Amino acid sequence: MTQVQQLDSSLERAVEAYDLASQKLDRVRNDLKANHAQLRIAKQSLHRAQKTLSARLVSLYTTDGQNNSLEVLLGATSLDDLVNRFDTANRISSQDTRVLGQVVKFNNEVKAREVRLKHAKAEAASLVRERAAQRSSIQSQLSARQSLLSSIRGQIAHLQAQEAVRQAQLRSELTARLHAQQLQAPAEALTSAVSPIAASSSSGSIGLAPPPTHSSVVAIAERYLGVPYRWGGASPSGFDCSGLTMYVFSQVGVSLPHNAAAQYGMGAPVSRDQLQPGDLVFFDGLGHVGIYVGGGSFIHAPHTGDVVKISSMTGWYASTYVGGRRI
């Protein structure tokens, strides 16, 4: 079982890396789409400016009989040389200068955008390879874990039966705790309204109180107990750890990234002895996240083959605990 836990920890890290790479790839694809549109506009502008310039050059050639105009047209070796020759010969009007300037500008813009597009495509290709490598790593780890589990299937079945009984008991305790909190809330609100100053001065400072949405966060998370774990999942059809917290908090109007380490950068830090229901709790070097429900327990999506469940912050979770955040 220790080996299973270690494999699950490695798998969780690979899944979180996959989620982060997916977000990066989405951003690159959006940049590519915008760059394609801008490149198309620049090329159209360049085409129009070139047509205007061509018409003007034909007009100069056919209407002007002076030899130096012919020399300017036939002697030019490049666009820049043509502009310089026209400037030197002083053969074009301010309108001609503006048209030439537009051709040069749009030509440079097309070249610059083509370079950026090339780099963006290379970055996108790199991200695709990265994601494919992560997928391969996940599948490999899954195979190893499934092979290990099959060798101890009988023991696992017995442990699962015990866990089902424990989960039912924990869920019953959580429901009772939520009900008690709902009954206690009106009394606390009345007390704070009557003597707000006394409440804050008793400890010398105003503490970091949980926002009113926190009580509903736990109730929302409880609805998804039993939903299967699915790596990359962020919906009731399946969750990974950060997908569950992101989905639950989105229902109270709070936007979280789909990555445990990124979620750790949100909100404010909370010491373990000050945790309140609805706080986020992090484990395993920020490779795992859950929602604290009180009583030293939390709701989370543990790993492949498991379901959203309530676990105690003891044993492995206590030894790998990183910290809590109040969003």
* Residues known to be catalytic: 241, 288, 300
Neighbouring CB atoms inside 10 A of 209's CB total: 10
Q: Which tokens hold the place of 222? A: 């409880």
DSSP element (H, E) containing 272: none
E strand residue ranges, the chain: 234-235, 238-239, 268-270, 280-283, 288-294, 297-300, 309-312, 321-326
Query: 254-281: buried (b, 16+ CB within 10 Å) or exposed (e) per residue?
Result: bebebbbbbbbeebeebeeeebbbbbbb
Distances (CA, A) of 62 to 55, 58, 73, 210, 301: 11, 6, 12, 82, 79
Query: Where do we find the tokens 């390879």?
Result: 129
Euclidean distance between CA atoms 299 and 59, whole angstroms:
78
Residues 6+ apart with CB under 8 A from 104: 79, 80, 83
DSSP element (H, E) containing 36: helix 2-63
Sign of the CA dihedral running 302, 229, 14, 20: negative
189 in helix, strand or coil? Answer: helix
Cα 248 to its chain centre, rounded Å, is 16
**Maximum CA extent, the chain:** 102
The 3-state DSSP composition of the chain as helix, strand, coil percent (nearest 5) reads 65, 10, 20
Cα 219 to its chain centre, rounded Å, is 25
- The residues facing 283 across adjacent strands are 288, 321
